[in-house]
A and B are shown apart, each in its own frame.
Chain A
Amino acid sequence: MSIKFGIREKLLAPLIIGLAVIICILFLFVQPTQFKKAKQQFIESQTNIIKTLSPSIISNILANDLAELHRIFENSQLIHKDEWLYIKLLDQEKKQIYPIFTSKPETSDTLIKINFTIEENLEVFGYLTLHTDWKKTKEKELKSIREINFSSILLFFLIAFTSFILQTKWIYTPILKLKEVTSQFSLGNYSENLPTITQDEVGLLSSSIEQMRDKIQNTMNELIDGEQKQRAILDSVPDAIITIDDKGIIQSFNPGAENTFHYMASEVIEKNVTKLMTPEFAAHHDDYIQNYKMTHKSQIIGLQRELYGVTKYGEQFPIELTINAKTIKGKTLFTGVLRDITERKKVDRLKSEFVSTVSHELRTPLTAIKGSLDIITNGLNLELPEQASSMLDVASRNVERLLTLINDILDVSKLESGEINFLLEDIKINSFIEDCIELNQEYAKKHKTKFVCTQCENDAVVNADKDRLTQVMSNLLSNAAKYSPSDVPVEIFTTIHAKKLRINIKDYGPGIPEEFQSVLFEKFTQSDSGDTRKVGGTGLGLSISKMIIEKLGGSIGFDTIVGKETTFYFELPINNEQ
């Protein structure tokens, strides 16, 4: 910052103004007044001289001693030769008796005419006129006035100058020193010693700055320590951590990122992040950022997503990405934490393949066993001992259970690996619910309850896979029937809100204990494990239902009051365009 008027100029300004004011006062007011006074004094002094001469003038007039009178005037004129240019004396009859031959001097600016009546005890003896020149006195007075003025100005100037010098020494110089030292601070040099300064306010300022310097230094050290620790953490994290600005330019690139993308940090910093993305994602990346800048809302911020990254060598690999945005001093920075999930994907795939293979291999013999058991119990009309019949029944039930479990595991596996293809069609919800109820009414009877549609009259249509949606309905209805008390119906009703259709299945069972509510949709979970035997099931149904509904673009959830009721529901977008 350039300084236009520094402290020195500001200290100097009042002194200069003061000097100017004094000069103005001296020359505009004091000098004319003194001058006028001096003139008045001069006239008075001249009059006084005449007054002192007056008695001898009277005596000589009375004695007719004109010679003495002339001598007095001539002597006086000689004594006051610089001033008394002309004296005229008239007698009582105004006849001129002095001078005889001298004529009046020419008038000039400095000539003063004083008329004086020579009188004593009210008797007039003559009239004196003095033409006195106060040029010399004026010059002398002027000189003296000027000397006084000059001395005053000089004195003021000396005082002002001394004060300026002292102020400079006491205020300006220490501040300048402080400025130099603090400039060093701004360059990061905190080791510069502060000048030792007097015990005044500037000294206090200096010690305050010293304290501030120490504090800054400590804070800086702490920050550097913290920064080093953070960097050590960042450097040791196996995940890739990349920071970009709101134009997509890479600001930081940690060692984890170097390992993941095979780029050195120096190769990508200040480059656009899109070079780390597949062309399909890169095409949308700028829009994401612009959208976030405009609305500060984003569908991708804070969410974990899976997509593909591109290495330095052009290889694509799966990554798991979480993006966070932070605005610092008006600049938005986006931090992406990425993990290479190639291995995990591989393991998942192997697991799915294993499960599917194992399930398939199990299902075939089980189907054969089930068929054989059915034939033994129902097809051959054999009279079996009661004990054998009972044992066959147990075997048949357990095979059935096992098949259901395997089918569910296969469904989960297929859903997770994405092997299931949905056959989407428009489904009229009204008739769809009626069909589902009819399909599962037998099961309800088994649990001494029934399904009642309390509010299903609407003409909503959803676009979904009918079989899979039926699977979800069956799962939710069977769960409701299982937990519903005897002779209390399960209620089914639909609601429409914000172009979404909600199907609710409400039972008046024991409700879902609080500790299970959060894990209800996870695999192999049932509200009461101890109850599994009684109610049956694999604990995969809700998990499968969730996956299906989400794959269809909907959502699933429940409301429950423990000991009173539970309502499971799912929502799907309405597709009533036709």
Chain B
Amino acid sequence: MYKTTIFLLPVFLLSLFSLHAQAENKAVYTIGIVPQFEIRHIRKIWNPILNEIKRSTGITLKLVGSPTIPDFENEVLAGNFDFAYMNPYQILLAQKSQGYTPIVRDNGRKLHGIITVRKDSNITSVKELDGKKVAFPSPNALGASLLVRADLQNTYDIKVQPVYVKTHSSVYLNVVVKQTTAGGAVQKTLNQQKENIKAALRVLHRTPKVAPHPLAAHSRIPTSDVKKIKQALLELGENKIGKSLLAKIPMKKIGDASMEDYFPLYKLNLEKFISK
């Protein structure tokens, strides 16, 4: 808390100075964030960034929360948000229905799913998972569920019994306590597990990589404002304080995003694996 205050103080002071300079642009837009985390956590990450955007552009971005991922998806597909931060599969749907366009994304990494088994498991190839119970966080989780299930079917042509266990941590625990033979997840969450969990698991397979979550703008937003915001974010990525703010989204290395980044996803026929 103390650290945060120290950290935010200069940002706050800077905002006070710039308010006067940018007073002429009084546009207000809504922004929706995919609720991968708790809303409080999301606000904690995004509010400082939105304040920075307002300071440098004068445009106010108002954070609108969605209780669940399906709610968020519905609102996106209904075009309720002016701006939205969503997963790569959702941008495919959003672009198609509302003409959302990606403006920035993390250029430092790519998203891929992993399949974990117990370290002492006698499973040595993905094929052996045929007919077995495999844990996933949720049906529509992109990296952990959609990419993995699409890969299993498309590449290996096997069918597994999916067990949805809500979270990545549950996936790992289900594998460790042998409730399921394997589990779909992403490398990042595996790295966040406790050492003994990590030590009990082994990565059996990694899916092909896709671009990570973009921030997209609705087609109704004036291009000038979209540009200003994009510019403001890119500038933020250039200074140290701004970079650390963005890293929490996570966007370690912010850069341009375009619809082309997400075209490979089409090939995966993910809609087959979406649970409506």
**What residues of chain A have their CB less than 8 Å away from a CB belonging to chain B?**
63-70, 91, 95-98, 100-101
Most chain A Cβ neighbours within 10 Å, of B165, B177, B196: B177
On whether the beta carbons of B174 and A64 are closer than 8 Å, the reply is yes
Give A98's nearest chain B residue, CB to CB: B177
- With A66-B179, A68-B170 known, 15 other A-B pairs at CB within 8 A are A63-B165, A64-B135, A64-B174, A65-B170, A66-B170, A67-B165, A67-B168, A67-B172, A91-B179, A97-B177, A100-B173, A100-B177, A100-B196, A100-B197, A101-B196
Q: Which residues of B contact A70 (CB under 8 A)?
A: 169, 173
Contact pick for A64, options B172, B179, B200, CB 8 Å:
B179
- 3 closest A-B pairs by beta carbon, nearest first, are A67-B169, A66-B173, A67-B170
On whether the beta carbons of A64 and B177 are closer than 8 Å, the reply is no
CA distance A505 to B166 in the complex (A): 162
Contact pick for A95, options B166, B170, B172, B178, CB 8 Å:
B178
CA distance A100 to B170 in the complex (A): 13
Interface flag for B176 (CB, 8 Å): yes
Contact with A along B156-194 (1 / 0, CB 8 A): 000000011111111011101111000000000000000
Give A102's nearest chain B residue, CB to CB: B196
Mark out the residues of chain B between 21 and 45 whose CB falls within 8 Å of any chain A CB in the assembled complex.
none
Q: Which residues of A contact B176 (CB under 8 A)?
A: 100
| Chain B min CB distance to A576 (Å) | 147
On whether the beta carbons of B196 and A68 are closer than 8 Å, the reply is no
On whether the beta carbons of B167 and A67 are closer than 8 Å, the reply is yes
With A64-B135, A66-B173: A97-B167 Cβ-Cβ less than 8 Å: no
| Chain B min CB distance to A99 (Å) | 9
With A64-B135, A66-B165: A95-B196 Cβ-Cβ less than 8 Å: no
Give B168's nearest chain A residue, CB to CB: A67
Interface of A is mostly: mixed
Give A89's nearest chain B residue, CB to CB: B177
| Chain A min CB distance to B163 (Å) | 6
| Chain A min CB distance to B127 (Å) | 25
With A100-B173, A100-B200: A65-B179 Cβ-Cβ less than 8 Å: no
CA distance A64 to B165 in the complex (A): 5
Q: Which residues of A contact B166 (CB under 8 A)?
A: 63-65, 67-68
Q: Which residues of B contact A69 (CB under 8 A)?
A: 173
On whether the beta carbons of B179 and A97 are closer than 8 Å, the reply is yes
CA distance A98 to B178 in the complex (A): 12
CA distance A64 to B170 in the complex (A): 7
With A64-B135, A67-B169: A96-B177 Cβ-Cβ less than 8 Å: yes
Q: Which residues of A contact B170 (CB under 8 A)?
A: 64-68
Would you mind naming 22 contact pairs between A and B with Cβ atoms under 8 Å apart?
A64-B135, A64-B163, A64-B165, A64-B170, A64-B174, A65-B165, A65-B170, A66-B165, A66-B169, A66-B170, A66-B173, A67-B167, A67-B168, A67-B170, A67-B172, A68-B167, A69-B173, A91-B179, A95-B178, A100-B173, A100-B197, A101-B196
Q: Which residues of B contact A97 (CB under 8 A)?
A: 173, 177, 179
| Chain A min CB distance to B137 (Å) | 9
On whether the beta carbons of B174 and A95 are closer than 8 Å, the reply is no
CA distance A96 to B174 in the complex (A): 11
CA distance A66 to B175 in the complex (A): 10
Most chain A Cβ neighbours within 10 Å, of B167, B169, B170, B197: B170
CA distance A96 to B178 in the complex (A): 9
Q: Which residues of A contact B168 (CB under 8 A)?
A: 67
| Chain A min CB distance to B136 (Å) | 10
Q: Which residues of B contact A96 (CB under 8 A)?
A: 177
| Chain B min CB distance to A65 (Å) | 4
Mark out the residues of chain B between 133 and 150 whose CB falls within 8 Å of any chain A CB in the assembled complex.
135
CA distance A89 to B93 in the complex (A): 42
CA distance A95 to B169 in the complex (A): 19
| Chain B min CB distance to A301 (Å) | 126
CA distance A503 to B176 in the complex (A): 155
| Chain A min CB distance to B113 (Å) | 18
Most chain A Cβ neighbours within 10 Å, of B167, B172, B196, B197: B167
Give B166's nearest chain A residue, CB to CB: A65
On whether the beta carbons of A64 and B164 are closer than 8 Å, the reply is yes
Q: Which residues of B contact A68 (CB under 8 A)?
A: 166-167, 170
Give A100's nearest chain B residue, CB to CB: B176
| Chain A min CB distance to B121 (Å) | 15
Most chain B Cβ neighbours within 10 Å, of A67, A97, A100, A101: A67
| Chain A min CB distance to B118 (Å) | 11
CA distance A95 to B176 in the complex (A): 12
| Chain A min CB distance to B35 (Å) | 17
Give A97's nearest chain B residue, CB to CB: B177
Q: Which residues of B contact A64 (CB under 8 A)?
A: 135, 163-166, 170, 174, 179
CA distance A296 to B164 in the complex (A): 131
On whether the beta carbons of B163 and A66 are closer than 8 Å, the reply is no
Contact with A along B186-230 (1 / 0, CB 8 A): 000000000011001000000000000000000000000000000
Q: Which residues of A contact B174 (CB under 8 A)?
A: 64, 66
On whether the beta carbons of B196 and A67 are closer than 8 Å, the reply is no
